[in-house]
């Protein structure tokens, strides 16, 4: 089994491990970001989400009774939750008369409730290391780097280095890296990433950062030198980027 994992080909076990580690880690980051936003939510709206989570579907009148407030007040909260894609509704015909609006959780509500993907990713990494050794972990992060390069490649089409930097930072920003760049001295550029969505995983597997570095050089077609590192306690991962011929 160890030989299978360390082989250059991508097999089903590799894909399974990759999915557990990195889909989980990225979703965990989104959950944390979502939770920070939802902590600012009024208590009544938080209660509405909790009730819908527990009951599946409820009408405004049913929610009002459970909350001890008026249906009009509930509908105001539901309107706001619906605009944030936290709540959705279906029209349901119940006997004669006008259909009822039955409310349920929307797609964005999933981020409101706790997930433990990051803990799962860390546990899986530790187990793989125990079973198959550190080379297996290195192979997984190499696969991740290759997949990111493949995903980003078609969207990085700039002919100049600053154009490619602009495109890359937009993609990394969307993935949660808080990525920015600015001109440096002597035809160089400074790339800064103030957040790492998988930092808790990367702290135990330094090769994750090494392959991220390789990915940046590959996509930018440039020399990339890391000047500071979040894992070392710095405020951001900062890179000095310069053309290959410099």
61 and 19 in a single domain? The answer is yes
Assign residue 103 the CATH number of its domain.
Answer: 1.10.10.10
- SS3 category, 165: helix
27 and 114 in a single domain? The answer is yes
Asked whether residue 141 is domain-assigned, the answer is no
CA–CA dist 13, 15 (Å, integer): 5
> pLDDT averaged over the chain?
81
123 and 155 in a single domain? The answer is no
- The pLDDT value given to residue 112: 73
118 and 234 in a single domain? The answer is no
Give the DSSP H or E segment for 103.
Answer: strand 100-105
pLDDT in tens, the chain (246 residues): 444 444 434 444 445 455 555 544 444 434 333 333 444 678 899 899 989 988 889 999 999 999 999 999 999 999 999 998 899 999 887 777 777 899 999 888 877 776 666 677 778 888 888 888 888 888 888 888 898 899 899 999 999 999 999 999 999 988 889 999 999 998 899 999 998 888 877 887 788 899 999 999 999 999 999 999 999 989 899 999 999 886
Cβ-in-10-Å burial (0-12, 13-18, 19+) of 179 comes to buried
- The pLDDT value given to residue 40: 62
- Contact predicate 117/35, CB 8 Å: no
């Amino acid at each position: 089994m160890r030989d299978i994992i360390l082989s250059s080909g991508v097999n089903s076990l590799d894909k399974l491990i990759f999915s557990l580690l990195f889909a989980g880690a990225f979703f965990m980051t989104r959950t944390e970001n979502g939770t920070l936003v939802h902590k600012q939510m009024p208590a009544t709206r938080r209660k509405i989400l909790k009730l819908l989570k527990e009951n599946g579907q409820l009408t405004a009148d049913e929610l009002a009774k459970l909350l001890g407030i008026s249906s009009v007040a509930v509908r105001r909260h539901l309107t706001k939750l619906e605009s944030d894609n936290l709540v959705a509704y279906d029209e349901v015909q119940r006997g004669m008369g006008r259909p009822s609006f039955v409310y349920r959780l929307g797609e964005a509500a999933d981020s409101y409730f706790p997930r433990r993907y990051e803990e799962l990713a860390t546990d899986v990494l530790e187990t793989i290391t125990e079973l198959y050794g550190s080379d297996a972990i290195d192979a997984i992060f190499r696969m991740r780097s290759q997949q990111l390069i493949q995903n980003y490649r078609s969207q990085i089409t700039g002919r100049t280095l600053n154009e490619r930097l602009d495109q890359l930072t937009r993609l990394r920003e969307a993935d949660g890296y808080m990525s920015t760049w600015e001109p440096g001295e002597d035809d160089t550029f400074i790339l800064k990433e103030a957040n790492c969505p998988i930092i808790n995983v990367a702290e135990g597997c330094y090769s994750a950062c090494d392959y991220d570095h390789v990915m940046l050089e590959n996509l930018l077609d440039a020399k990339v030198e890391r000047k500071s590192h979040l894992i070392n306690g710095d405020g951001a991962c900062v890179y000095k980027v310069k053309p290959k011929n410099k």
